Structures are given as C-alpha cells and as structure tokens.
Structure 1
Amino acid sequence: MSLIAVKDLSLIRTEALFTGLNLSIAKGDRLGLVAANGRGKTSLFHIVAGSEAPTGGTVTRSRGLVVATAPQDPPARLLAMTLREAVRDALSRELAETEDWRVDILLDDLEVDEAIRDRAVDRLSGGWQRTMLLARAAIVEPDLILLDEPTNHLDIGRIGVLERFLAALPHDCAVVAASHDRAFLDDVTNRTLFLRPQESLDFALPYSRALQALEERDAARGRQFDNDMRKVRALRQQAAKLKNIGINSGSDLLVVKTKQLSERADRLEERARPAHQERSAGAIRLSNSGTHAKALVSIDDAAIETPDGRLLFRTGRLWIENGDRIVLLGANGTGKTRLVNRLRGALAEPDAAIRGAASLRLGYSDQALSQLDAFSTPWDAVKRSSDATDHHARAQLAGAGIGVDAQAAPVSRLSGGQRARLAMLLLRLAQPNFYLLDEPTNHLDIEGQDMLESELVEQGAACLLVSHDRAFVRAVATRIWVIAGKRLVEVDDPDPVFDRLMAS
C-alpha cells in the first residue's frame, strides 16, 4: 500500500533542483536518497512532510499518515532542554503526561547512557544530538521516518546502534534516508533514488548496486545520443547535397526529398537526449610539496593521556613513512583525537616521544573545521593563506564551489559542504607533504568524498586520518592503526575492526 505518491513534482529556486519527479513510497520501504550538497534533498523532505510547497506537481498522502523527520540540526527551542525533555517534547500533551515512560524505553533501545539523558541539548556532541533527533522522530510511532544525514558525527559504534535500531522498527514503517555515507546506505536500504534536476532515477537496489546500474544507464544514454547526432549530421549532409542537385536540375521531386530529410533530422535531434552531466558542487584538489625524507614522523612509545593525566593507551614504536596513508580506528573515547592533537603539538614544538622530519610540512583539519574560525570570509581565508592575486583568489574560490556572492560573506553562512571544500582549498594552499585529518568526510557529499579519495591517492602525500566512513577507509588506507585496550596496534584488514566496533 502506498503511503506517499509524488507525481510530476518540481522545485525551482534560482535554478531547478528537481523537475518531473515521480515517486511512490510504500509500507516497509527502505529508500536511500542521493544527491550532491544543495540539490534539494532537505527541501524534498519538507515537501513530503507537508511543511513546504513545491513549485509544481502533487503529493498524495494516505489517510491518517504520520510522518516524522530527524533533521540535521536541533531546532533552537530544544537547545536549553535536556535530551530526555527534548524527546518527551515530541509527544502530544496527553501522551507526555500518561506515557512518558516510553521516552526511557526508547533511549534504552538507542543505548543512551543515563548521564547523557539529563544533559542540555546544547552541551551534547553532534552525535548525541543526532541520536536525540532520531528518538524524537521514532517516539511518535510514525508510518514514515525521514532521516537527513543520520550518520553525521556518529562514530562506528553509534552507526551500528543506528543500523540495529532501524532494522528493529515495525515491519510496515517506511524509512527514507538522505545520506552521503555509502556503507550505511548499502547496509540499510533496498531502494535508491538519485535526485536530479531532470529525470531523477529510482532503482530497487541498495546504493552501490544502484550506482552501477545508473552509470550503465548513463553510458548507454550517452552512446545513444552520440549515435543519434551522427545520424542527424548524415541526414543534413544528404539533404544539402540533394538541395544543390535539385536547384541545379529544377527537380521538384528532389526538393520534396530534401524537405523530408531535413524534417527527419529535426525530429531525431529533438528526441535525442544527452547523458546526464552532474554539475559539481565544487572541486577538491590537494597538493604534495614532496620530501626526500623516508620517515616523516617517528613515535617512540608515546603515552596518550586524558587532560587530567589518565592513561588512554601507549603507541609503541612507530614510523610514518613518505607515502603512507594511515587510518586510525578505535571506539569513541579511546583517544583518537588525543593522539591527533599530540602529533600536531609535537610537530610544532619539541616532544621527547614524537619527532618530525626537518622537511615535514603539516596540513591539518579537525572534524569541526575550527581552523576556519580564524577568518572572517572565504576571501579573507584565501588571501591570508596565499599570495594569490585577486583574480586568482576569486577563481580558486569559485572552483571550490563558493560563488562570488558567498566569497565576501561571513564564513559562518557557508553550508557544511562549502565549509568542507574551503577547508580542503586552504590545505592545498599550505602545500603540505603530511596531512593530519580528523573526520575529513564530514559534510562532504559523495562526489566530494570521491574527489578527496582520488587526491589523497594520486598526490601520494603521507597522511594520518581519523574516519568513521567505512567506504572512505577502504578506498584510501595503506595502513590501519587500531586502539585496542591500552595499546596501539597495526592490522592488515579494517573490516573485522568495523564489525567489532559496530557490534559493541
């Protein structure tokens, strides 16, 4: 039975985000919604939920349909509430008074610690805020849940909790997840909608298989278009020849034949459709200043500790060599970011246990992109980070997906995707030969993730990465470090580590 039927839906802002969209969502569907940043995913959720009107088309909802949305960020009015209060707030007044016990049952299912439940929302990490928003959506027992980037800020263990929670939902509850987490989409969805300005495509397949089907379809469309245009050119050439002959000979039959050939070429050209060309949200390019040093970083059994001096783990003796792409894995709270911060500090000031080569040039980005806070505008960031001319600075920002209007606006007004691309641009301008990146795929769409993967591999610079993006780790890592107990160990295969972290 159809819960939602969308027919010929369109949404046009300064440009068409999507047009002619037809979609049906049935009970129990698990649909992945895929598009680049800023291409209408969140707006489509608002339209489906009834809080925003489309430019054209219709949305038909089944009688009594209950739709719940878990947005990317908590509404401002929830920030002063505790997590428990924010979830309870989603209930009607009557249910909140008589069945508030449901809140703690649901938070148990989501494995939320008691200490977290009474903490104010504005003091929660991004991951716990995501969990609160999911709980608010689930507690109303909806027929359809809309999840907007549900894995952002979640570590691998919390992603495992999320996946188990979705699998345990009532069988007839439908879920639509807009996500750039490819592994998550493969795990939880059985349909994929690629949202496009024209001809959005829906495949009854999880993401990776759907992407393959999409690429095959686009390639076939491209071949058909090229073939059609060859026929159009041939028809026009033939018509031109006959026209000259007809004029010289005075043959009415050849004039008629010429007209028929031209009309046939016009009809074929009108029907021909080129393959879809995705408009980039902005390029990501990295650099590698190079070095002759074999070992860029040497670590001599460093003790990684909490701020109050409690030992988290010891590193043992390790080296980071030129060209290594090392991914650091471990459960939340085991000290991944503490090691990153220790390394960063040691490369700036002498450290007895951690030494960098004299030729090392560091490029650093943290998961909150806090390095951008030092700049007032994107223009200010590029000009202060390079000796680029005004024209070149504008071109670089535009290439990174930051248009002219946004270049002089406050950095705080940039979207998450634009902030991430600006951070990558500043890294390139620093010309490092060693990258230290904490959750670099946060806020990047799938196109951006693919670009970052390619750049890290092709540029060949050494890097140490912290990431919970399983597809990204599999694509880029040449070495895997894992925090296990009180030690840092190296393993050959990340998948058993992923399995263990997701099950914990």
Structure 2
Amino acid sequence: MFIFKGKDLGKEWKGKTLFNHIDISLQKGEHVALFGRNGTGKTTLLNGLLGKISFDSGSVHRFVPVEKWGYLEQDPEYSVVTVLDYVQTAAGKVYELKRQLETLQAQSDFDMDEYTQVYQTFLDYDGYLVESEAENALHQVGLPSSVWTSTLSQLSGGQKTRAQLARLILQKPACIIMDEPTNHLDQETMEWLEEWVVHYPGAVLLVSHDRYFLDRTADAIYELNTDSCKRYEGGYTAYQQQKEIERRTQETLYHKQQQRKEALRATIRNYQQWFQQAHKAAGTDDFARAKAKKNVSRFKAKEKELERLEHNQVQKPQANKSVNVRLEDAHFSARRLLHMENVSFSYDEENLLFSDLSTSVYRGDRIGVIGPNGSGKSTLLKLIAGKRKPNKGDIKQNPQMTIGYFAQELENLDEYKTVLDSILELPDMTQSEARTILGCFLFMQEDVFKQISSLSMGEKCRVAFIHLYFSSANLLVLDEPTNFLDVDTKEVIEDVLQSYPGAMVIVSHDRYLIQKTANRIIALDGREVLDYKGHYGQFMAHKQNRRNTEPDTENDRRELELRLTQLMSMDVDSEEERQKILDEIKMTRQRLQQLKR
C-alpha cells in the first residue's frame, strides 16, 4: 500500500526552477531518504507533499490523509505552550477535551451538565493516560522533567528537536516526514534516534546530510536534482557505490560512442573521396557516372547514422570538482610521538574535564575523539597541540615531532589577507604554484583575490587545509575539520586524510568521517575516558556489549520501562481498575527516576 505518489512535480522560486518532472512515492513501512545538494529544493518538496504549499505542476495522490502524517521540521515556529502541553497536543481530540475541562474548572460558575458531558467523553477516551504517555515519551527522548514546564522557545536547538520527537512518539503516525532530524543532537540522542527510526513500523521520508544516519536508517535514497529524482536502493554507502557504477558505465558508453562517431566520419570522408575520384574519372560516360553515384547514397546513409548518434548523444560524465591533493608528513623514525601522564584539567574549580588521564599517541595512530558537548574534546586537542597547559600532570612531546593543528574556530587564519597572499607566505611558494594549488582546492580565477574575512566557513576550511598541506607535520590535530563543507568536499577531504601517512587525532560529530579515517577511538563522557583500539563500528558494538553485561541495575531499569509501556497500553473496564493502573504508573516512574539518579 502506498502512502503517497507524486507525479511530474515541478516548482519555481523567484523565477528560478527548483525542480521539474519529479516522480516520488512512499510505501507503507518503508524508510526512504531524500538526498541532494543545498538549494535543490528538498524542504520545498517536503512541504509540497505535506500540502503546506502547492506545486506549479504535477499532482500528488495521498492514499493516507495528511492528518495521519507526522512532521519533524528543520526550523519550526514554536508557540508559547509548555513542553508537556506541546507533546500532549498530539492526542488531538483528547487534548482538546482536557483543555475544555481546565477552562470550565477555572470558571467560578460553570454549567454542571456541560462539565459532566465533557468529563464523561474525556473518560471514554482514557484521557487521564495522555499526560502519563506524554511524560513517558519525554523520558524516552531524554528531556529532563525540569524543562517540562518551560516554554518551547526557552529550549536549546537539541531540546526542541527532542520535544518534537516526543510528540511524534505520542502521535504514532502512519507516516513521518523528517527534515534534518539530527541537527543540534548530541551523539547519545542521535544514536537513540537511529534505533527509534530503525524500529519504527510506519513509513518514514527524511532529509539528512548525516551519512552514517542514512546508512543506519534508509532502505532507499531518492537523489533530487533539478530535472530528476532517481531512486537508489540501500543506504548512503550503497548509493555511492551505485553512482560510481553509473559513472563508469556512462564513461564506457561515451567513449564507445565517440569511437563510433569517429569511425563514421572517416567512412563518410572515404566515400566522399571515392565519389569525387570516380566522378572525375567517369568523364562523360553515363554508365560510369551512375556507378560513381552509388558512393553518394552510401555516405548519405552513414551521415544519417551519424546524425542519429549525435541526436542520442551519451553525455560525457562530469568529473566532480574535487580537492586534488595528497598530504605528506616529515620523516619520523620514533614509535611514540606524545605521552600524557596523569593529566588533569579544569577551567574552574567546579568543572573538572579530566582527572589522571594517561594515554599516548603512536606512529600510525588515527584517533577519533568522540563524546557529548562539554565533555572536553576540543580541550583535549588543545592540550595535545600545546595550545593549553594541564593543571596537573605532564605532556611529553617527541622532539622530532611537528604538529599540524586545525582549529574548529579557524583562529589560525589571518582574516585581513587575501587567499592568494595567505598562500604566498608559505616557504618557497611562487605565484604560479600558488595559483595551481588554489585551483586544486576549488579557488578559481578571481576567487583567489578575496579577503579571508569575506569567505564562507567552508571556503575558510579549504584555506586552512592548504596550510596543513604544506606544514610537513607528522601529527595532525584536527578539530571538526569538515564543519561547513558540502558532502562532495567532505568526501575528498576524507580521501586526503586516509592517504596521510602520519598520525592523526580528530574530533568530529561526523560519524561517517570517524568510521572512514580512525583506527582508534577515545570516548569522553564526563565520567571516564574509554580508549578503544578499533574502528568506530567496532567500538559501537563493544559499547553495546558493555551495556548488555552491565549490573542488574540496568536490567531493572529496562524491566521497569517495559512494565510502564505495558501499563499505558492496558484496556480497563472500571474506574477502580483505571485508578489502580494510574497508581502503579506513578510508582513505576518514581522507581525509574531513582535508578537513573
């Protein structure tokens, strides 16, 4: 069964065509991603499918009414209602009945018959369970009870996303539309969201640039372009593999067609020459002249074949703009580059980030540093790079070591210089070589004369990478190096980092980047530092195994959560049974909160 089918959809914005001739559909239970470059109209397409805006052309056949869809917005407009009330609005009529009761109770002289009628309808819909279900949903997404009475506008970006997710949990829609659901989420909530989407039985159509998230959650990917929306089965990695096969196939067909065209042109030239020679030799001999004209019909037929080939021209595959560069490191013979011994660091007496941290960085290490915001990832990199000193303990660097440091804030760049002048400052750099290098990093023509202060963050990242390229460092310390980069440039930078022969310590929220580049994981969580030798996927499996073997407290928590879910789904026949269930729900939630503390 289909949720919807969109046929030949088109939309313009301010006189510019966003997309045209788009076919897209979603079936019951499937999880599909919409993927494309910024500006291709992904959010606009979602809004059109939801009926929030109209398409300029085409039609949408919705087999499930939009009222039964859920929507997680990228930039929602939040009202002044509290978080708890916002989540309860998913209950629709039941929530409206609750508000009616509250309004009547607030009146000093209300109509008792009206109140009784509304109250009975509220009971018939199990209205008293709605608040408990909303609270359970908020617990699931990790929003603490301390913010439930806050207005949505008071929440952080990540908290707002969680509030939307809690509302979707309560709504239980047949189809969910998600626009950049991982924006503003910390790693723990992102991992929870992945699991939730994977196990969600309904249909999901989502937009995301998080490639790891797409690999975990998407059954298929629609690639949106101006004039097409092609479907690829599988997650992001499978999509990339299929795109590469397409590119190679098209390249082969293009070369074959070019060879055939050249062969036809040569044949046509030969027939033309034969005709001219035969016609000249025939003189006034009518029989010989007629025989010579046979060559004319032959090369005319070949010209028609050439015309058909050119009409059905296979387009030459466009090479993606890429950063054509390979990082090199300085010669280094020692095994250990750096050692940290019993390091402690805090910015003030109350916020201790590290205590007695001991670790080493060895030649060949590619360390991915992960953890929630505020756990000290960037601070750890600054300690390694020598930008900060520990409060206690020692950090010893091998004297042969040279560090290349990429700051998240790009603070190493001189904002007052042009891109070209910044590169010309590098040792032994010539004007010609600088222009060539900048071209490799996608700075074309007049772009090289832009002042660094006027660049976008993505462009500044590319300038910073050029400085890394010439640093001859044997240890790269990288703090969010791919922030602000589009997916294509991210993948090029990943290839550059994979080919780098030196050691590397990298902080990134991009788990796909960590998976591709790191062979060791240091995880910070504010309580302990876990140093794991292996790739990110192996680390996640190890982490899950640890959870499965944790003490009985964790098992107790899971059993209580299961019992809470069972209680909330129970059907009751009497007011007495309903009250017993509500009492047990309250007691179970209290025990859960105690375990979590």
Instruction: Give the TM-score of the pair, scaled to structure 2.
Output: 0.68
- In the alignment, the residues of structure 2 paired with residue 393 and residue 126 of structure 1 have an alpha-carbon distance, to the nearest angstrom, of 41
Tell me which residue corresponds to 2:8. 8
Tell me which residue corresponds to 2:460. 422
- In the alignment, the residues of structure 2 paired with residue 153 and residue 436 of structure 1 have an alpha-carbon distance, to the nearest angstrom, of 24
Q: Which has the higher contact order (CA 8 A, sep 6+)?
A: 1
Instruction: Kindly report which structure 2 residues correspond to 1:117-132, keeping only aligned pairs within 5 A, or say none.
Output: 117-118=148-149, 124-132=155-163
**What are structure 2's unaligned runs of at least 5 residues?**
99-126, 280-291, 548-597
Shift of 1:267: 0.8
1:495 maps to amino acid: G
How many percent identity over aligned positions? 22
Contact 2:6–2:25 (8 Å) recurs in 1 = yes
Describe the SS at the equivalent of 1:460. coil
Instruction: Kindly report which structure 2 residues correspond to 1:24-35, keeping only aligned pairs within 5 A, or say none.
Output: 24-35=25-36
Question: Quick one: which of 69, 72, 95 aligns to 2:71?
Answer: 69
Contact 1:11–1:55 (8 Å) recurs in 2 = yes
- In the alignment, the residues of structure 1 paired with residue 59 and residue 256 of structure 2 have an alpha-carbon distance, to the nearest angstrom, of 36
Contact 2:5–2:61 (8 Å) recurs in 1 = yes
Shift of 1:161: 1.1
- In the alignment, the residues of structure 1 paired with residue 89 and residue 446 of structure 2 have an alpha-carbon distance, to the nearest angstrom, of 42
Shift of 1:297: 3.4
- In the alignment, the residues of structure 2 paired with residue 442 and residue 140 of structure 1 have an alpha-carbon distance, to the nearest angstrom, of 34
Contact 1:327–1:479 (8 Å) recurs in 2 = yes
Does residue 475 of structure 1 match 2:485? Answer: no
Describe the SS at the equivalent of 1:436. strand
Describe the SS at the equivalent of 1:301. strand
Describe the SS at the equivalent of 1:200. strand
Question: Structure 2 vs 1, CA of residues 230 and 117 (structure 1 numbering), >3 Å: closer, same or farther?
Answer: farther
Describe the SS at the equivalent of 1:347. coil
Contact 1:314–1:487 (8 Å) recurs in 2 = no
Shift of 1:219: 2.0
Shift of 1:492: 3.4
Question: Quick one: which of 287, 302, 305 aligns to 2:343?
Answer: 302
Contact 1:400–1:422 (8 Å) recurs in 2 = no
Tell me which residue corresponds to 1:157. 188
Describe the SS at the equivalent of 1:195. strand
Does residue 448 of structure 1 match 2:486? Answer: no
Question: Structure 2 vs 1, CA of residues 458 and 205 (structure 1 numbering), >3 Å: closer, same or farther?
Answer: closer
- In the alignment, the residues of structure 1 paired with residue 271 and residue 361 of structure 2 have an alpha-carbon distance, to the nearest angstrom, of 72
Tell me which residue corresponds to 2:37. 36
Question: Structure 2 vs 1, CA of residues 397 and 216 (structure 1 numbering), >3 Å: closer, same or farther?
Answer: closer
1:33-87, CA deviations, whole angstroms, 9 ceiling, x for partnerless residues?
A: 2223443333332332334455543333336224443233444x56x77654665
- In the alignment, the residues of structure 1 paired with residue 264 and residue 142 of structure 2 have an alpha-carbon distance, to the nearest angstrom, of 68
CA RMSD of aligned residues (A): 4.3
Question: Structure 2 vs 1, CA of residues 480 and 261 (structure 1 numbering), >3 Å: closer, same or farther?
Answer: same
Question: Quick one: which of 387, 392, 413 aligns to 1:347?
Answer: 387
1:148-206, CA deviations, whole angstroms, 9 ceiling, x for partnerless residues?
A: 2322443432222102322443x3x3211222333322222211222234443213333
Question: Quick one: which of 276, 288, 300 aligns to 1:259?
Answer: 300
1:2 maps to amino acid: F
- In the alignment, the residues of structure 1 paired with residue 163 and residue 185 of structure 2 have an alpha-carbon distance, to the nearest angstrom, of 12
Answer with 116-125 or 220-229: which moved more: 116-125
Does residue 207 of structure 1 match 2:236? Answer: yes
Describe the SS at the equivalent of 1:154. coil
Question: Structure 2 vs 1, CA of residues 218 and 362 (structure 1 numbering), >3 Å: closer, same or farther?
Answer: closer
Question: Structure 2 vs 1, CA of residues 490 and 373 (structure 1 numbering), >3 Å: closer, same or farther?
Answer: closer
Does residue 319 of structure 1 match 2:357? Answer: no
Question: Structure 2 vs 1, CA of residues 410 and 298 (structure 1 numbering), >3 Å: closer, same or farther?
Answer: closer
Contact 1:386–1:429 (8 Å) recurs in 2 = yes
- In the alignment, the residues of structure 1 paired with residue 299 and residue 319 of structure 2 have an alpha-carbon distance, to the nearest angstrom, of 38
Tell me which residue corresponds to 2:207. 178
Tell me which residue corresponds to 2:270. 241
Contact 2:337–2:362 (8 Å) recurs in 1 = yes
1:268-320, CA deviations, whole angstroms, 9 ceiling, x for partnerless residues?
A: 2221323653654x748685574758454331221244743455544544332
2:60 maps to amino acid: V
Question: Quick one: which of 99, 115, 119 aligns to 2:146?
Answer: 115
Answer with 435-444 or 467-476: which moved more: 435-444
Tell me which residue corresponds to 2:216. 187
1:468-492, CA deviations, whole angstroms, 9 ceiling, x for partnerless residues?
A: 4443223111333244853443433
Instruction: Kindly report which structure 2 residues correspond to 1:456-467, keeping only aligned pairs within 5 A, or say none.
Output: 456-467=497-508
Shift of 1:262: 0.8
Answer with 49-58 or 192-201: which moved more: 49-58
- In the alignment, the residues of structure 2 paired with residue 121 and residue 463 of structure 1 have an alpha-carbon distance, to the nearest angstrom, of 41
- In the alignment, the residues of structure 2 paired with residue 394 and residue 153 of structure 1 have an alpha-carbon distance, to the nearest angstrom, of 38
1:96-141, CA deviations, whole angstroms, 9 ceiling, x for partnerless residues?
A: 6637725434323323222344556566554334323444556555
Describe the SS at the equivalent of 2:339. strand
Shift of 1:18: 4.2
Contact 2:329–2:500 (8 Å) recurs in 1 = no
- In the alignment, the residues of structure 1 paired with residue 448 and residue 86 of structure 2 have an alpha-carbon distance, to the nearest angstrom, of 34
Describe the SS at the equivalent of 2:225. coil
Tell me which residue corresponds to 2:369. 328
Tell me which residue corresponds to 1:365. 407
- In the alignment, the residues of structure 2 paired with residue 248 and residue 386 of structure 1 have an alpha-carbon distance, to the nearest angstrom, of 63
Tell me which residue corresponds to 1:222. 251
- In the alignment, the residues of structure 2 paired with residue 409 and residue 290 of structure 1 have an alpha-carbon distance, to the nearest angstrom, of 31
Question: Quick one: which of 311, 315, 337 aligns to 1:270?
Answer: 311
Describe the SS at the equivalent of 1:161. helix
1:339-394, CA deviations, whole angstroms, 9 ceiling, x for partnerless residues?
A: 335445x435587522445664442333xxx4479988xx8684785557999799
Instruction: Kindly report which structure 2 residues correspond to 1:371-382, keeping only aligned pairs within 5 A, or say none.
Output: 371=410, 382=419
Describe the SS at the equivalent of 2:338. strand
Question: Structure 2 vs 1, CA of residues 59 and 380 (structure 1 numbering), >3 Å: closer, same or farther?
Answer: farther
- In the alignment, the residues of structure 2 paired with residue 316 and residue 298 of structure 1 have an alpha-carbon distance, to the nearest angstrom, of 10
Contact 1:28–1:175 (8 Å) recurs in 2 = yes
Question: Structure 2 vs 1, CA of residues 305 and 168 (structure 1 numbering), >3 Å: closer, same or farther?
Answer: same
Contact 2:521–2:536 (8 Å) recurs in 1 = yes
Shift of 1:237: 1.6
Instruction: Give the TM-score of the pair, scaled to structure 1.
Output: 0.79
Larger radius of gyration: 2
- In the alignment, the residues of structure 1 paired with residue 544 and residue 459 of structure 2 have an alpha-carbon distance, to the nearest angstrom, of 29
Tell me which residue corresponds to 1:231. 260
- In the alignment, the residues of structure 2 paired with residue 500 and residue 74 of structure 1 have an alpha-carbon distance, to the nearest angstrom, of 37
- In the alignment, the residues of structure 2 paired with residue 53 and residue 409 of structure 1 have an alpha-carbon distance, to the nearest angstrom, of 42
Describe the SS at the equivalent of 1:300. strand
- In the alignment, the residues of structure 2 paired with residue 233 and residue 397 of structure 1 have an alpha-carbon distance, to the nearest angstrom, of 33
- In the alignment, the residues of structure 2 paired with residue 137 and residue 375 of structure 1 have an alpha-carbon distance, to the nearest angstrom, of 47
